């Protein structure tokens, strides 16, 4: 090959940056594992206890207790439905105020976003514990906790979708003399509504799982049943609760995913 041509060929980039980044990421993961006390040795040493627990839960589970799981599981699903859709109702107007391409008031956008960030930092379980202390033991505290959790989750995803709309439609409406209500009705709503409904269904999927553990703090649902039989070490009944909950969540996920695919 011509030496001049070889000299003009681009040189192969050095791999030092790639390997340095890889080493840094590996060091962060290892240090985090060490700091948190994670140990593969402990996992291996306790495998026999885990095997014994799994055997006591699922081989066999307490099939005769299955009928008693349905009522608290339905209560859990009802809590998730109420919390998700109530949260969505409040989330949409909050998302409009947070979107900086609809309400162009910087201090208002920033204030609403900080407000939403505050609620997203509090886990649903902590919210449920707080509301149980206010409203007492029962599913109402769980519904309020899931409503607030859903509000923070859906509002964030929605205002990000509003900011990502095709702004050409907005400019066309403005050029025709349209006001904010016209922009909302003819430009924002048609573009964002399918995604908003998808986010609501996604929040519902998340809340079904979250509601299942809220009973640990007295917020009702199947989580309370988990707590009772775990405390009594009736692992065969815990096993049947897990199996039925898994089937219910799987069906909900499949139906919700199918609906979301049609919406987006």
Nearest by Cα to 169 from 147, 152, 191:
191
Give the C-alpha separation, 177 to 247, whole Å. 54
pTM for the structure as a whole:
0.79
Tokens of 144: 């309020």
pLDDT at 8: 57
- pLDDT tens for 151-204 read 999 999 998 888 888 777 777 877 877 777 887 888 888 888 888 988 898 888
- At residue 180, the pLDDT reads 77
pLDDT of residue 86: 93
What domains does the chain contain, in order, with CATH numbers? 12-57 (no CATH), 62-263 (1.10.3720.10)
The C-alpha atoms of residue 46 and residue 216 are separated, in whole angstroms, by 25
Residues of the chain with pLDDT under 50: none
Q: Measure the CA–CA gap between 120 and 206, rounded to whole angstroms.
A: 14
The whole-number pLDDT of residue 90 equals: 92
Instruction: Quote the pLDDT of residue 263.
Output: 66
| Contact predicate 116/152, CB 8 Å | yes
pLDDT of residue 91: 92
Q: Provide the pLDDT for residue 264.
A: 58
């Amino acid at each position: 090959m011509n030496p001049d041509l070889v000299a003009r060929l681009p040189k192969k980039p050095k791999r030092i940056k790639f390997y340095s980044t890889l080493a840094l990421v590996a060091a962060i993961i290892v240090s985090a594992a060490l700091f948190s006390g994670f140990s593969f040795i402990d996992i291996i040493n306790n495998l026999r206890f885990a095997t014994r627990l799994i055997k006591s839960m699922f081989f066999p589970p307490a099939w005769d207790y299955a009928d008693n799981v349905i009522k608290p599981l339905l209560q859990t699903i009802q809590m998730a439905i109420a919390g998700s859709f109530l949260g969505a109702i409040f989330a949409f107007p909050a998302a409009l105020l947070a979107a900086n391409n609809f309400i162009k008031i910087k201090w208002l956008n920033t204030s609403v976003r900080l407000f939403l960030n505050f609620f997203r930092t509090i886990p649903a379980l902590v919210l449920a514990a707080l509301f149980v202390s206010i409203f007492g033991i029962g599913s109402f505290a769980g519904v309020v906790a899931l409503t607030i959790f859903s509000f923070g989750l859906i509002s964030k995803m929605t205002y990000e979708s509003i900011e990502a709309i095709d702004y050409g439609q907005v400019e066309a409406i403005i050029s025709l003399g349209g006001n904010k209500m016209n922009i909302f009705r003819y430009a924002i709503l048609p573009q964002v509504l399918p995604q908003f409904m998808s986010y609501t269904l996604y929040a519902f999927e998340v809340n079904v799982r979250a509601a299942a553990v809220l009973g640990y703090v007295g917020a009702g649902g199947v989580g309370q049943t988990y707590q009772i039989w775990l405390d009594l070490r009736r692992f065969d009944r815990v096993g049947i609760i897990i199996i039925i909950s898994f089937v219910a969540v799987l069906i909900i996920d499949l139906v919700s995913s199918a609906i979301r695919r049609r919406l987006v």
